[in-house]
Amino acid sequence: MLTLPRAVHDHMVAHCLVGLPDEACGLLGGDLDTGRATTCYPTRNLAASAKLYTVDPKEHLRADRDAETAGGSIIGVFHSHTHTDAYPSPTDVAQAPDPSWHYVLVSLRDTEPVVRSYRIVDGAIEEEPVHLLGR
């Protein structure tokens, strides 16, 4: 399960909306053991594309250091799908870097953004519940 404080959720969705018409991406910092995210790290999409994303490596390094300094780590990545479901694409699965991470998809296809989270282990996709904290 991924636990998302409302502020982290809203920061993530806002970054995805601002990134339109391209895909937007970022990292989540928090506690890997409990799956609780505490920080949203919006990053640049170096691919600058509506169909692909690449997290800016320099921003990844900064986010990683910040999360580690806070006693946690990077626990996952989020990105938007601008015209498709909030479901990992073959590209997402092929390039998923860490089986312990949470892979969050924000679909902007419909009027209301749809947020879903997945685990990707050895190419197998499993959706997990997203627990929103706060109002």
Binding of residue 52 to other proteins (CB under 8 A) = yes
Q: Does 15 bind other proteins (CB under 8 A)?
A: no
- What is the spatial distance between Cα 113 and Cα 81, in angstroms, rounded to a whole number? 10
CA distances from 98 to 29, 37, 76, 111, 119 (A): 14, 16, 8, 31, 9
Question: Judged by CB under 8 A, does residue 57 bind other proteins?
Answer: yes
List the one residue from 88, 106, 117, 118 that touches other proteins (CB under 8 A). Answer: 88
Q: Measured between alpha carbons, how far is 45 from 112 in angstroms, rounded to an integer?
A: 22
Q: Which of 10, 44, 60, 132 binds other proteins (CB under 8 A)?
A: 60
Residue 80 in contact with residue 106, Cβ under 8 Å? Answer: yes
CA 53 distance to own-chain centroid: 11
Under rule CB under 8 A, residue 48 binds other proteins? no
Find the shortest distance in angstroms from Cβ 20 to other proteins: 13
What tokens appear for 34 in the block?
A: 């409990």
Is residue 37 close enough to count as binding other proteins by CB under 8 A? no
- What is the distance between the alpha carbons of residues 31 and 70, in angstroms, rounded to a whole number? 10
Is 31 an interacting residue with respect to other proteins (CB under 8 A)?
no
* 24 binding other proteins? (CB under 8 A): no
111: left (phi over 0), alpha (psi -120 to 50) or beta: alpha
66 binds other proteins (CB under 8 A): no
Binding residues for other proteins, rule: CB under 8 A, are 23, 25, 27, 32, 47, 49-55, 57-58, 60-61, 64, 68, 73-74, 77, 79, 81-85, 87-92, 94-101
